[in-house]
A = this chain, B = another copy of it.
Amino acid sequence: MQPKQYKDLDPSPRILLGPGPSTASPRVLRAMATPLVGHLDPQFLALMDEVQQLLRFVFQTENELTIPVSGTGSAGMETSLCNFIEAGDHVLIAINGYFGERLYQMANLYGAQVDRLERPWGQVFDPTEIESALKKKKYKLVALVHAETSTGALQPGIPEIAAAAHQQGALIVLDTVTSLGGLPVEIDAWDVDIAYSGSQKCLSAPPGLAPLTVSDRARQMLRSRKTPVANWYLDLTLLDKYWGQERTYHHTAPISMNYALREALRLAAEEGLQARFARHRTNAELLWEGLEALDLSMLVPLQNRLPTLTTPLVPPGVDELVVRQRLLNEFNIEIAGGFGPLKGQIWRIGLMGFSSRPENVLLLLSALEHILSKS
């Protein structure tokens, strides 16, 4: 072991305009550096309460069971499925991108009988399509993605789909990883049962926590399970007691990550949700206009386009990877490429949270113009 080979941590000053993580605010970074208290310290227990209140604010819900899961967004997805699925349950998954596929894989893993409803990547579902599927067969749960991180598409009609699910006695699970904190996510008004997100997208905290909210309807279903939850770390019957009044020890909460999430949520509360959504929208429109001026067209039509993640098509003859590498190496700008069926065909440009700033848009457009004009 030659410790000197491990140099001081000194990463390049990246401007994070990919699908997440987004750039964290200096205030959030300072919160991360705050000295630790113990996870059972009364001061930390009070902070847990505040994080829960602030999460209810961004989810626009009164759900008591609203917590940050101590893992990344994928852990939030798994929590949302494994607690509500028992072997043999019938589950419907709407799939129009990578994260729909992942929901499908996880639901299968927990022994559900899973039906797939599919749309090509980049498209969205007509809500009536999902409603009819829910009428044809009795499901325990339907899961879909609000904002598809792999395509940039925004699924409309969530309240209608939720109503259709409830008419048939099904729960609705919604992936809000790339929407929460960047565009309206109205859990109570839409009557969504279970929603999860990631800390590192439109909330601009570092990755490592998964905001989650569970309706009383879903909580009742959890309590009336016939079999134990088949996952210990993500078991909401235990997590509910840890985050609730009882404070029954389950695991050691990631103290610093909760410091960071609290600060990120406090920033959202200070800004106000409507102002925050308007900012994301305005900066997205500035980006779209600029991309069109560079003769780039978008994968997703305007009416279903996410303001938080834009997916321009790569022009014929351009190597998308070379462009991304030049953005990173010459200008410290990170954007992402497509994957799966969209590999090589799109870029994915995130304007999320602290990264959603007009100066970032102008810089990116200018750098893209510079690179594309010479490629």
Q: Which A positions have Cβ atoms within 8 angstroms of B?
A: 1, 3, 6, 9, 11-14, 16, 18, 20-21, 23-24, 29-41, 43-44, 47, 50, 54, 57, 70-75, 78, 105-106, 109, 198, 200, 206-208, 228, 230-234, 249-257, 259-260, 262-263, 266, 269-270, 272, 328, 334, 336, 339
Q: Are A39 and B21 in contact (CB under 8 A)?
A: yes
Given contacts A6-B269, A11-B37, A263-B9, contact A21 B252 (CB under 8 A): yes
- Residues of B contacting A21 in the complex (Cβ-Cβ under 8 angstroms): 36, 38-39, 252, 255
Q: Are A233 and B38 in contact (CB under 8 A)?
A: no
- Which 5 pairs between the two chains have the least Cβ-Cβ distance? A208-B254, A33-B33, A3-B269, A206-B256, A32-B32
Q: Bound state CA distance, A371 and B334, in angstroms?
A: 56
Residue of B nearest to A108 (CB): B228
Name the one of B1, B11, B232 contacting A269, with C-beta atoms under 8 angstroms. B1
Q: Bound state CA distance, A30 and B35, in angstroms?
A: 10
Q: Bound state CA distance, A232 and B257, in angstroms?
A: 22
Residue of B nearest to A71 (CB): B71
Q: Are A71 and B252 in contact (CB under 8 A)?
A: no
Q: Are B198 and A252 in contact (CB under 8 A)?
A: yes
Q: Bound state CA distance, A18 and B252, in angstroms?
A: 12
Q: Are B36 and A233 in contact (CB under 8 A)?
A: no
- Residues of B contacting A24 in the complex (Cβ-Cβ under 8 angstroms): 35-36
- Residues of B contacting A32 in the complex (Cβ-Cβ under 8 angstroms): 29, 32-33, 256
Name 23 A/B residue pairs within 8 A (Cβ), A-sorted.
A1-B269, A9-B259, A20-B252, A21-B255, A24-B36, A29-B33, A29-B34, A41-B328, A70-B71, A70-B208, A71-B71, A71-B233, A71-B251, A74-B233, A78-B231, A109-B231, A198-B252, A200-B255, A206-B254, A207-B255, A208-B257, A233-B233, A249-B339
- Residues of B contacting A207 in the complex (Cβ-Cβ under 8 angstroms): 39, 252-255
- Residues of B contacting A30 in the complex (Cβ-Cβ under 8 angstroms): 33
Name the one of B23, B230, B259, B270 contacting A3, with C-beta atoms under 8 angstroms. B270
- Residues of B contacting A206 in the complex (Cβ-Cβ under 8 angstroms): 36, 254-257
CB distance from A177 to the nearest CB of B (A): 10
Q: Are A38 and B12 in contact (CB under 8 A)?
A: no
Q: Bound state CA distance, A36 and B249, in angstroms?
A: 31
- Residues of B contacting A34 in the complex (Cβ-Cβ under 8 angstroms): 9, 11, 29
- Residues of B contacting A31 in the complex (Cβ-Cβ under 8 angstroms): 9
CB distance from A178 to the nearest CB of B (A): 12
- Residues of B contacting A272 in the complex (Cβ-Cβ under 8 angstroms): 1
Q: Are A230 and B230 in contact (CB under 8 A)?
A: yes
Q: Are A251 and B41 in contact (CB under 8 A)?
A: no
A11, A57, A208, A233: most-surrounded residue (chain B CB, <10 A): A233
Name the one of B29, B54, B70, B228 contacting A109, with C-beta atoms under 8 angstroms. B228
- Residues of B contacting A14 in the complex (Cβ-Cβ under 8 angstroms): 35-38, 41
Q: Are B208 and A9 in contact (CB under 8 A)?
A: no
Q: Bound state CA distance, A259 and B266, in angstroms?
A: 24
Q: Are B6 and A266 in contact (CB under 8 A)?
A: yes
Name the one of B16, B251, B263 contacting A74, with C-beta atoms under 8 angstroms. B251
- Residues of B contacting A73 in the complex (Cβ-Cβ under 8 angstroms): 251-252
Q: Bound state CA distance, A43 and B256, in angstroms?
A: 23
- Residues of B contacting A257 in the complex (Cβ-Cβ under 8 angstroms): 206, 208, 254, 256-257
Given contacts A208-B254, A228-B109, contact A35 B29 (CB under 8 A): yes
- Residues of B contacting A12 in the complex (Cβ-Cβ under 8 angstroms): 37, 43
